[in-house]
Amino acid sequence: MAKLRVKWVKSAIGYPKDQKATIKALGLRKMQQTVEHNDQPAVRGMIHKVKHLVQVEETVSETL
């Protein structure tokens, strides 16, 4: 299954509270922090909402 690597690269100061809550819901707590999520429609929707604040990279997990 593909995974998405999400990195918080721009401050959420000055943006609406719902966008700050989305950053928190993605599991990001500090700037420059990176988290991995499974590629699901709900996660894609959250990323789309804050695409101007994060950097996204798609990775492929190897299954043995």
Q: Six-digit token pair at 8? A: 């918080």
Res. 64 pLDDT band, cuts 50 70 90:
low
Angle, CA 63 vertex, CA 59 and CA 64 arms, to 5°: 145
Question: What letters, b where the CB count within 10 A reaches 16 and e where it falls short, cover 4-34?
Answer: bebebeeebeeeeeeeeebbeebebeeeeee
Cβ distance 49 to 3 under 8 Å? Answer: no
Averaged over 45-49, what is the pLDDT? 98
pTM for this prediction:
0.89
Residue 39 has pLDDT above 80, yes or no: yes
Identify the residue with better confidence: 60 or 47: 47
